[in-house]
Amino acid sequence: MNVNGIGAGYPAAGYETRRTERNVAGRNFADAMNKAATKKETNTFRPESSDEVMQAWDKALAETGVNPFPMNCISTALVLHVESGQQGLSSTFLGDSIGSAKSMAERIIHRLENPLTPAANPDFAGQELMFYKKFLEFLG
């Protein structure tokens, strides 16, 4: 019987050594790729808007350290977007002006302070509220 090359004329010890070498080479390759990759932003979903709005967004990200769109939580912005009947969250949900971004931030803050149902993740809701208040402050 021939399983993974064992019994096909290769000594078992040689097979084990070669398998270990391949595993080490794979790990080394993965480590090299991770080092070469550019550092991802803390915010996987980055909205698009005017430069002034994006500067306020980046300042709020830097100061609070809160990612308002984590992969493991549903954000209030996403909920508001779905409730408004749009398909999927577009990257321009803040609009293209400071006024539209303020309006969206105020809607999000209002929803966080007056939830329709208790937050599924109260810790994240508190962080999200902190982020959008700081964002609104930086918008002026």
**Strand, coil or helix: 92:** coil
Tens-digit pLDDT profile for residues 41-91: 444 466 777 888 889 989 999 999 988 888 888 888 888 877 776 655 566
- If pLDDT is split at 50, 70 and 90, which confidence band does 132 have? very high
- Dist CA 28 CA 80 (whole Å): 45
For residue 23, the model assigns a pLDDT of: 62
Instruction: Identify the CA nearest to 102 among candidates 50, 64, 66.
Output: 50
Residue spans per domain, the chain: 47-139
Residue 68 C-beta-side C-alpha neighbours within 13 Å: 25
Instruction: Identify the CA nearest to 108 among candidates 96, 118, 93.
Output: 93
For residue 51, the model assigns a pLDDT of: 85
Q: What is the pTM of this model?
A: 0.64
- Dist CA 62 CA 58 (whole Å): 6
Nearby residues of 62 by Cβ (< 8 Å), 6 or more positions away: none
pLDDT of 5 above 80: no
